[in-house]
Structure 1
């Protein structure tokens, strides 16, 4: 319009950022690490700094013995994941969720708030899981600091910040429910492994754990794609992000599975 100067790039950025802050779910807005992306962004930057500096600081040091810490951490994560799986299941069941199409209930009803709270807890659990990387660095297991590991950990915290900020409930519950169940099994595996080498003979099922992780991504992709092409009152933007992200994880985990199991099997077969 005439008489109104065009907004500068900085002003447009300010308007955009203000929209991020103001257009979220008012129920979760005051909860820790939700209102603004800045705190979780700072955690992300500190995490990247740790990955860069940590191995350098540990280069001339002996690996830290974290056995007691790992035992407590892994089994605590089993309990936390089991609790979140129960809460996702109970909240969705009692609220009568439709598995194929479930809009977000933005009311302050007890069941809607119960679902929102477990969504936040799941989001916060992804921040806790950044500890996995710290333990690798302190134990000088730098080979574990792969692109897949870093990508998965960093993207999950941002995806679930957006989930809790804008869609704390509805269709997004399916991701938390399935992932929590998978993490019960995953952290149980790592908890048993942390008990010592004598447990190795009982941990033959690591390959199937990777398969289970892939299955969850396929389920989430199919579920979200169906929702994307149906008339469901759930943001298509979020659905598209979930589908794209799930496909990226399928590609990365498939590559990991091939290199870790199939390629080694072919190599061993050729040697014989």
Structure 2
């Protein structure tokens, strides 16, 4: 396929101001950042943690269903060719494909906004230790990447490769969260290896996305600003998850192996 012609098609689509003007997104993210780091913890300082179990369950179900919908739409928009991530793909000549490309991008904007609720729930449950720099960076940056997808993409439907992978990961992850929220303690403990595997899957996802970048750069070309920002975000996420994996699992495993075991003969 020839290099993407998305740049010529984009002017035919009138992007609503909500998705085009960056100040809407910036305002939301600044309010989010202020609440989860300052206002929220201060508000909860003298209060008991909220349970919010029903909200958590509903949130997990919505995320799973939404991600399945995203996967379905990406397959339609790319004619089931999203697996060939190294190829250039324009938006296509079909008005239906172009319409659904942008409809899905707008849907992703709201989906990523809804994911900010996770951090708010952590704060209201007084689990501030889970509001890590990695957690905030992840949610903060994914919304900005959707903005880039809507307004700055010049690589056609190939840009949906990272969305496709991320949606698969999220189906697995939020399904696990749902089960962990409703299951008893013994089941949750038995599923502990799954939690570790999810982190590995997340790192694999970022590695695959970084593999696509040079392919798209050589074959299709990418705007320098988009290339630098996108690559920087993905590298940052990969490093963050690797660091979390190392500290949460590898270090804990080494400590466990170094702990003297009781003599079974005594």
Question: What is the TM-score normalised by the length of structure 1?
Answer: 0.84
CA contact (8 A) 2:67 2:168 kept: yes
Q: Judging changes above 3 Å, is the alpha-carbon distance between structure 1 residues 211 and 32 closer, same or farther for their aligned structure 2 residues?
A: farther
Q: Distance in 2 between matches of 1:171 and 1:249?
A: 20
Q: Which one of the candidate residues 138, 142, 147 is aligned to 2:128?
A: 142
In the alignment, what sits opposite 1:172? Answer: 159
Q: Which range is displaced more, 94-103 or 262-271?
A: 94-103
CA contact (8 A) 2:75 2:81 kept: no
CA contact (8 A) 2:91 2:98 kept: yes
Unaligned stretches of 5+ residues in structure 1: 1-22
In the alignment, what sits opposite 2:229? Answer: 241
Q: Which range is displaced more, 136-145 or 118-127?
A: 118-127
User: Which whole-Å deviations, capped at 9, do the CAs of 1:26-65 have from their partners, x for residues lacking one?
Assistant: 4554336312001111101110110111011101111111
Q: Which range is displaced more, 144-153 or 199-208?
A: 199-208
Q: Which of structures 1 and 2 has the larger relative contact order (alpha carbons within 8 angstroms, sep 6+)?
A: 2
In the alignment, structure 1 residue 208 sits paired with structure 2 residue 194: no
Q: Distance in 2 between matches of 1:266 and 1:49?
A: 37
In the alignment, what sits opposite 2:28? Answer: 43
Q: Which one of the candidate residues 204, 217, 220 is aligned to 2:209?
A: 220
User: Which whole-Å deviations, capped at 9, do the CAs of 1:157-176 have from their partners, x for residues lacking one?
Assistant: 11211211222843211011
Q: Which range is displaced more, 112-121 or 65-74?
A: 112-121
CA contact (8 A) 2:60 2:174 kept: yes
Q: How does 1:21-36 map to 2 (within 5 A)?
A: 25-26=10-11, 29-31=14-16, 33-36=18-21
CA contact (8 A) 1:71 1:194 kept: yes
In the alignment, structure 1 residue 256 sits paired with structure 2 residue 253: no
**SS of residue in 1 equivalent to 2:78:** helix
The offset of 1:256, in angstroms, is 0.2
CA contact (8 A) 1:104 1:234 kept: no
In the alignment, structure 1 residue 86 sits paired with structure 2 residue 72: yes
In the alignment, what sits opposite 2:3? Answer: none
The offset of 1:242, in angstroms, is 2.1
Q: Distance in 2 between matches of 1:24 and 1:271?
A: 63
Poorly superposed stretches of 4+, deviation over 6 Å: none
Report the count of equivalent residues. Answer: 249
Q: Distance in 1 between matches of 2:130 and 2:105?
A: 28
CA contact (8 A) 1:74 1:190 kept: yes
Q: Distance in 1 between matches of 2:75 and 2:90?
A: 16
Q: Which one of the candidate residues 171, 177, 182 is aligned to 1:195?
A: 182
The offset of 1:111, in angstroms, is 1.2
In the alignment, what sits opposite 2:48? Answer: 62
